[in-house]
Structures are given as C-alpha cells and as structure tokens.
Structure 1
Amino acid sequence: METTVEKSVMVVGIDDSEHSSYALEWTLNHFFIPLASNSLFKLVIVHAKPSPASVVGLAGPGAADVLPFVDADLKKIAARVIEKAKEICIANSVHDVILEALEGDPRNVLCDAVEKHHASMLVVGNHGYGAIKRAVLGSVSDYCAHHAHCTVMIVKKPKIKH
C-alpha cells in the first residue's frame, strides 16, 4: 500500500534577467533530481508582469495613448520569460511544474503566490543592483525575506574572477 505524501511547494520568482535564469537552473539542479518523481517539492514558477501604468508612470498628457502598446510589449516579455523557464525545466527533466505570469509589483506578486500555493520555500535570484538603484527600487529579495510567510532563498550568481 503506497501512501502519497503531500509535497511541499517551492515558488521560484523569475524575470527577464540572467540572474533569474541562473537562480532557476541552480534550483532545479539542487532540488529536483533528474528523471526522479521523488523530488521533495512541487514547483511553481511565477513571473510578475508590471502593469502598463506603472511602467509609463505619470508621463503627462498622451500617456494613456501609449498604454496599449506598452501592455502588448509587457505581454510579449512575460510570454518570453515563461517560455524560457519552460525550456530550462524541460532541459533539466522537470515536467511537473506550474508556470504563472501575474500582473503587479514583483514583491506583492511573489508574497501572494507563497500564500496562494501554501509554499514552504520561495526562491529568488539576486539582482546585482548598485546601492542607488536598490535604494530607489527597493530590493525584491529584501522585501520577500521580510514579508513572505516561508523560507526565502536568494540564489547569487557567482562573480567571475578576472
């Protein structure tokens, strides 16, 4: 008699950066054994698509006219990000995966995904932002580390030594 153990959920946040692809690859290599259905985690990959208004911001008169174009562009980027994540999973023999592209600020989107999927771990890449950009934007990983109701793992891409 086989008992099915409910797997923990791992959410991996992705965007269109190299850091994010690296974090996904690293996670698959360390937590998802190829060709084994006995991985400890159920994998959910989440991409936060910014809202067109947040990208255009308060660009003054005429901003509304560009929103449809910006939105179409953001949808293309989101589709590309999800497609790339799917390819990385297939290349690593991970087929049981949920891929989601959700609109909103990545900080909220990832924390909401953790709640929605009852995740026990959230994985994010590290964005080598400089101090000024980080101060202005606020770090997604910092925010998630403080607000996500689960363990947060920040995967750092090794620096290339010259």
Structure 2
Amino acid sequence: MQEKQVMVVGLDDSAHSFYALEWTLDHFFTPPQNGLFKLIVVHAKTAPSTVIATPMAFGTADIIPLVDADLKRVAQRVVDKAKEVCEKKSVPDVEVEVMEGDARNVMCEAVEKFHASVLVLGSHGYGAFKRAVLGSVSDYCSHHANSTVMIVKQPKTTATSPK
C-alpha cells in the first residue's frame, strides 16, 4: 500500500484561514477523496519576545509572561476550533501542531518537517500597500516552500442594496 501524501494547512485565528481549512476539507477530504492525503493543520504561535519591541526596556520583562499566556490562549483557541471544524466535516484523522515563530518561516519549516507535498493557506486579501508593509505569508511561502502552495481566497460577497 502506498503511503499518503501530506497536506499542511496553515491556520491563524482569522476567518480567512478557517475558510481555507473548510474549503480544503470539502474538496480533498470528503468521500471518496478522503484517502488521498494525510492532513496536518499548523498554527504559528508568535514568540512573545517578537511582540514586545524592546523586551528589556522600561520593565517590559515583567510583561513577557502575560503576553506569552495570551499567545498560548489564542493558539489553544485555534487548535480547538480546527479540531471542531474537522469533526463537523467528518474528518477525524487530523494532526494539529502549534509551532513557535514567524508564520512565514513556520509554514516553510512545517512543509520540510512533515514532507508535505501541498501547503494550503488562506488569503487575507491585502492590497499591494498593506502586503508591502505587513508582508504576506502566502506570498513568501509561494516563493520559499519546497512544495506546491495553494492559496484559497474567500469569494467576495456582493452587497445587495435595500429596495
């Protein structure tokens, strides 16, 4: 029997990434396709020292444990929600990992660690300016990940005007 290929889905706590997870489950993990890939969901937990610009200035070292606790709560919320979404979609065989670091590097490292053939990311839909200022995880991964990178965009909702 041939070993399944690995698909990594990168999640943050945004609606965009959870849309990408649901889209992936609907398109790759519903019968009869559910036997094609092993699913690994990865959340990149930011290191507390990167959240606080100058960790040792002005007594901010006391804040690091509080920031870390908050980041851990967010990570746990993402993990719990990911498991819940997978369970709702009847995809019980999923591995959920939290890896610490910058999301761009974490996703590329996850591809290597799990020997993934596909990396799935949600698109936040940033314009060129925001992407240049904030950086784009999906853009970075599309150039640096050693796998196919699939970027899932949410459909634009059309606002209907009241009559």
Matches within 5 A, 1:121-140: 121-140=118-137
| CA-CA distance at 1:39 after TM superposition | 2.0
The answer as to 2:39 corresponding to 1:43 is: yes
What stretches of structure 2 of length at least 5 have no aligned partner? none
User: Shift in Å at residue 37 of structure 1?
Assistant: 8.1
Which one of the candidate residues 107, 111, 114 is aligned to 2:111? 114
Asked if the contact 2:28–2:34 (Cα under 8 Å) also holds between the matched residues in 1, the reply is no
Name the Cα RMSD after superposition.
1.4
Moved over 4 A (4+): none
Aligned to 1:89: 86
| 1:91-106 to 2 correspondences below 5 Å | 91-106=88-103
> Whole-Å Cα distance in 1 between the matches of residues 141 and 34 of structure 2?
28
The whole-number CA distance in structure 1 between the counterparts of 2:9 and 2:15 is 14
Give the Cα–Cα distance (whole angstroms) in 2 for the partners of residues 37 and 140 of structure 1: 28
Separation in structure 1 between the aligned mates of residue 84 and residue 156 of structure 2, nearest angstrom: 25
SS of alignment partner, residue 124 of structure 1: strand
Partner residue, 2:54: 58
Aligned residue pair count: 158
With the length of structure 2 as denominator, give the TM-score of the two structures: 0.92
Describe the SS at the equivalent of 1:149: coil
Structure 1 gaps of 5+ residues are none
Q: 2 CA distance for matches of 1:106 and 1:37?
A: 29
Bigger drift between 121-130 and 43-52 goes to 121-130
Q: 2:67 aligns with which of 53, 59, 70?
A: 70
Give the counterpart of 1:9 among 6, 10, 32.
6
Aligned equivalents of 2:10 and 2:109: distance in 1? 12
Aligned residue number for residue 148 of structure 1: 145
Among all aligned residue pairs of Structure 1 and Structure 2, give the percentage whose two residues are the same amino acid: 65
SS at match of 2:124: coil
Q: CA deviation at 1:114?
A: 0.3
Specify the SS of the correspondent of 1:61. Answer: helix
Structure 1 match to 2:29: 32
Task: Give the Cα–Cα distance (whole angstroms) in 1 for the partners of residues 133 and 60 of structure 2.
Answer: 23
